[in-house]
């Protein structure tokens, strides 16, 4: 029987950043901060999405 090891927040974010970078997209500091808050359990997925959409709609 194997034991599942969960990544830390920083490891998960590093993976997300690397994946976006390989796709030619860089995450902004705002996007990274929201993702970190979601990974830490401070935001739900819906709350994170709402914050990200609000941040790109600002002039």
Residue 33 and residue 38: Cα distance in Å, rounded?
Answer: 9
- Which pLDDT score is estimated for 59? 60
Which value, to the nearest 10 degrees, does the dihedral of the CA atoms of residues 12, 47, 20, 58 take? -140
Query: 50 in a domain, yes or no?
Result: yes
Is residue 54 included in any domain, yes or no? yes
Residue 21: pLDDT above 90? yes
Decide if pLDDT at 54 tops 80.
Answer: yes
pLDDT in tens, 24-52: 999 999 999 999 999 899 999 999 999 99
17 and 32 Cβ atoms separated by less than 8 Å: yes
Residue 16 lies in a domain: no
pLDDT surpassing 90 at residue 56: no
Q: How many domains does the chain have?
A: 1
């Amino acid at each position: 029987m194997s034991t599942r090891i969960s990544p830390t927040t920083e490891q998960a974010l590093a993976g997300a950043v690397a994946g976006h970078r390989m796709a030619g997209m860089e995450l902004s500091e705002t996007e990274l901060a929201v993702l970190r808050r979601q990974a830490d359990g401070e935001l739900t997925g819906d709350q994170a999405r709402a914050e990200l959409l609000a941040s790109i709609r600002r002039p």
